[in-house]
Structure 1
């Protein structure tokens, strides 16, 4: 055994010159036998002078014929002028040698000098699980070509590449048709808001017809102003009748309808056959539809404001 490690003799002779105690690090396996692929604990200890700086091997060290699995370091303990360093390495082997040995170097720093101290030789016996063949011959092997079922696995790289491709295509479409998509969305919102306004406006008109209450007529006028404020991005909800007429360049329909509505709301003056109130409601609805059609035309879409409705017959 010493013949294989004759290179240790010069190192041991240099220990007194470096101020290192003449004691080698100790390495041992915590079990005498191990099976192939089984995790085995290897304990490394070194007792030295407290003034020395000792570095134990890390995961990059050569553990052949073993494979590194993990390690655990313990704090240095100093008693009666001697320090003890200890670490446990978790290894496994796939070699088939009956006896497997391991020697690890421990690095000692002393000033500008660096010394690699090999540990004592540790050996472990391989425990075989297959029964030995008679006569020491190799065990007979049988060929088996039967396919075994395996669970399908998700191919993440392809899915991620496909998702990235879809995102790139969608992004290019959005960038290329951004203006068109924005206009389509605005037209959709305009049509939806206009349909909602017509339904609510018709409901207020019906309530006024049944109740003859100025409050219901005032609610219809407020709804009309709120809708035009949203449609044209302007605020006419707080304007008086005169200011509203001036805002729409003295439009004849707006002027007549609001004057008729003021008679009912503020003067409580009703016509005998309801023609004036019906005319006021009709004029305001037609004006709102004209404004809606103008906004759609500016967005690049022309056409009737509400194709489902027939154009009202002008009232004389």
Structure 2
């Protein structure tokens, strides 16, 4: 119940009680003792629902009186709110009043409550209690324990549409870029060198497999065409290794780029075998010299990559 509606109801019941109190002359100005009155504003209560309790005290104007606040033990009730009213003074004395909004979770059939007012004296406060007032419990909202409860679904499941989380995607991409960038900044030079060396080694192994197969065929079969193919594979490999057009170079141009007496002699003899179609027992020896020269260039290229510092 909203607080404003509660105030209106409490004030209405309080006015009725005050009229009845004044009409019956229960308290008079000449009374020597303060006798507070406390009553429930209804005669019944339900578990967990609010009930109102009115507390009234008439006293001499010079006497200071205090009402219980929310820290007071209202057992078997619990306080929800407290509404105090302005003191009223006339020829019969001063009237103080308050309405307490309470709630009970007790299942006792009859529930009673009495409350004190505190009279301030020089050294301490004296508590003066009201006559106990009772309310009866209504069991309309209490489940009978003999009845077996049945669970009922309150709502059905509703399918939810899937939405793509773009913020998560952007955050993940940014994180990956940051991690990769950090790794490259710290280890980029070493990673690049290793990648270059891996590619260089893979190409060299491919060249060796092809060249060795053709050289073996040329030796075992005395096949000049296999020897010619081996020279072509050798030139193509040098072209990729040195980034120069070795495949179109003549023997003289090759020797200008690779000055080596043994290599020059081997190339001249292979030219005579290939172009003169003259078989030679030393053909495999000349091819081995070519292979050795290419391997020497491969090792030089490998040392160059290892010694190069990236800028």
Structure 2 length normalisation: TM-score? 0.44
Structure 1 length normalisation: TM-score? 0.43
